[in-house]
Amino acid sequence: MLRALPTFFLVLFLHFYLKKMFFQPLERVLAERRAATDGAREAAQVSLAKAETLAAQYEEAIRAARADIARQNEEVRQRLQAEQAEAIGAARLQARKAVETARAEITAEVESARASLRAESEALAHRIANRLLAGRAA
């Protein structure tokens, strides 16, 4: 047993020596590495959360812009439709006036033609009557 004592002390010394010189620095390096990794993960999660927030803001801005563009397009369409309706109304009014003017001209021409026909029929009737009367008198 006395012979095993130096080996026991040597193993015990080796145990404390390795613990102090090898395992404690190794644990410290691993702890620092773990802290750096966890810190990087947390920073990445924070960055990801910020990116998601910004993406949501950009999507909302895009939705708002699209809604604004759609509203503007609708306003332009309604304005153009109103202008078109106004132009159609003006064209119809102008067409009605042209029809009324043409009807008035046609009515005037018909009255003029009737008056002319009356005058000619009376003149023709006088001529016929004069010839008949002149033929009987002779």
The CA-atom distances, in angstroms, between 49 and each of 42, 56, 80, 131 are 10, 11, 46, 119
The tens digit of pLDDT for each residue in 27-76 reads 999 999 988 888 889 989 999 999 999 999 999 999 999 999 999 999 99
Q: What type of residue is 42?
A: E
pLDDT above 90 covers what percent of the chain? 74
The CA-atom distances, in angstroms, between 99 and each of 94, 95, 103 are 9, 6, 6
The CA-atom distances, in angstroms, between 59 and each of 20, 65, 72, 73 are 57, 10, 20, 21
Cα–chain-centroid distance for residue 111?
A: 61
Buried b (16+ CB within 10 A) or exposed e, 100-128: eeeeeeeeeeeeeeeeeeeeeeeeeeeee
At 2, the pLDDT band (50, 70, 90 cuts) reads confident
Cα dihedral 123, 125, 128, 130, rounded to 10, equals -70
Q: What type of residue is 100?
A: E
pLDDT for residue 138: 55
pTM of the model: 0.48
The tens digit of pLDDT for each residue in 80-103 reads 999 999 999 999 999 999 999 999
The tens digit of pLDDT for each residue in 21-40 reads 989 999 999 999 988 888 88
Nearest 5°: the CA angle 40, 23, 27 is: 15
